[in-house]
Amino acid sequence: MCSFQSCTMKQMAVDRKTPFLPEEIIRSILKRLPVKSLIRFHCVCKHWKDVIKTPSFIADHLHHSTHQSPSLLFQENDRHPLQLRLLDCEMQVREVRNTPLIDSSSWVKIIGSSNGLLCVAINEADVYPASILLWNPATGEIRQVPRTRTIDRFDWDCTVGFGFSPIINDYKIVRTYAESGYVISGVEVYSLSTGSWKEIELGNLENVNLYLQTVSANGAIFWNGIKLGVEEGGEDDTDLIVSFDIAMEVFTLIPMPNSFSKLGVYDDKLAVLSHSRIGDFPNYLCSFIDLWVLEEGIGSSTKRWSWTKKCTCGPLPSALNLGVIWRNEIACVAFGKPRLVSETRDEIENDEPKIGLYLFSITTNEFKMIAIPGCGSGRDVFNYVESLVPLGNNHIEEP
């Protein structure tokens, strides 16, 4: 018995000197956990804390979350408080808590979402342009973006875009100015890595104006835009898409497949959702959504861009606001009282309003509705993924 106890004690002593699991397995387990758990694990041991804060682990965790746990983020309205709800990959809805402290009189708008970071514009009374902050809801980290320009005149329009470039591993904010709501007259770019703004050349943005809607994909930021005709009675205004290469900091004009479209991202490519309704306003019978994907080729400027229609979803409820493309589905927010093609007039008049999120499968053309508490018209929808991406240079380097 004594010999057995002595052998056991020696084995336990050896075990204490070696890791219980190989490093690769520990990292593989940790990258599958939610951010909230990983933050708690900072207290388990210094080694785990160091692993979790390394850039390579943050990248591995982001890659896994992006492909396994994508979510949808909903902004309740444009007024403070910033009310956000999250639909996770398991189709559960929860409220996003601990939002940034913002003055109650401010107008708040989420500009964009990239790798778990949100770009938020805050429009305060008598202050122009809007202030901007970057926020990681999962970690709670907030970074106030410095204000570089204050304009007393309120006849200036400002358009903001936000995105990430894997080539330079940097997040950038682009802000354009257009006097009196017309063509762009100035552009500023903010870099998260340097923490500063700089002015850049307009390039080919002459006689171009941008709409507020923006998306980001593959190291570029995109806006719906319009190129104004140069002379009266001459060239007509042209709808187009404006692309900003985050690494090179240059603008490109891309022809649009059709007008009045919503930008999106499908299979890591720029996409356009176009919405058509059947029937007479306001009593439309149904609607259809076309999905177009941009294929970038090589050739002359007129033949470089090619749009391919991937699918047509429908017939669908008529009263829908186009949202985003999420998990091979098109997410739309219902407004008013959507009418389904299969419903009779009595069912439409007597049924409760169907307010919420509609998901339309790109592959099967089937759709489903998910109730979102407090969901109403005008709600913005964003692709989102929880991440450990920091907003400063406070992560440690690789050991």
**Token reading at 63:** 């890659």
Q: What is the pLDDT of residue 194?
A: 93
Domains of the chain listed by start with CATH number: 54-384 (2.120.10.80)
Q: Which H/E stretch holds residue 52? A: helix 46-53
pLDDT along the chain (399 residues), means of 10: 44 50 85 91 82 92 92 76 83 85 77 94 77 93 82 64 95 87 84 92 88 89 85 68 94 82 89 86 80 72 76 81 89 65 42 67 86 65 94 48
No. of H helices and E strands in the chain?
6, 24
The answer to whether the CB of 341 falls within 8 A of the CB of 315 is yes
Q: Fill in the amino acid letter for 232.
A: E
Q: What is the pLDDT of residue 302?
A: 52
Q: Fill in the amino acid letter for 394.
A: N
How far is residue 68's CA from residue 61's CA, in Å, rounded to a whole number?
Answer: 10
How far is residue 244's CA from residue 265's CA, in Å, rounded to a whole number?
Answer: 15
Residue 52's alpha-carbon distances to 18, 160, 194, 376, in angstroms, are: 20, 32, 24, 39
The pairing of beta strand 156-165 with beta strand 208-217? unpaired
Q: What is the pLDDT of residue 370?
A: 84
For helices 23-30 and 55-68, angle between their N-to-C axes, nearest 10 degrees: 50
Ranges assigned E (strand) in 46-166:
71-75, 84-87, 93-95, 107-114, 117-123, 131-136, 141-145, 156-165
The answer to whether the CB of 389 falls within 8 A of the CB of 47 is no
